[in-house]
Structure 1
Amino acid sequence: MSERLDTLNKARARMLEDRDMHAKVLAAPFDRDKAERARNKFIEIQILIDALDRAIGGERPVAGTVESGA
């Protein structure tokens, strides 16, 4: 695995942990201020996770292609 792909996977794992923390706040008994902040952060982090997924997908070699040594 390339160093770049490893870094992207670690970042994704970290963002999943952060997202889970905000999901727990959303699942807890309702507190309007906390829920609103948690909801906004959850959405922000999910967008980041989606971007990381696309970046990870872009790092995987495509079958049939040859990397140039230049």
Structure 2
Amino acid sequence: NRTNNHQQAVNAREELLNDLLRIELREAARDYLSRTRRQYPLHYVFDMSDIEIPPPPLPPQPHP
């Protein structure tokens, strides 16, 4: 029973670490995608379909 509890704790910890890593990767990917139009590398490695990509900033307008 003690071994089973220990294994459950280890599994829960690994699941938490995996979730935290996914959050960090998604934040980094979102930042990357907001700065470039080249989405090729990340879309082939990660499923990014649920990440909202902000539109690129408008170029500065000249003063009249």
TM-score (norm 1): 0.41
Which has more helix, going by share of residues?
Answer: 1
Bigger relative CO (Cα 8 Å, ≥ 6 apart): 1
Larger Rg: 2
TM-score (norm 2): 0.45
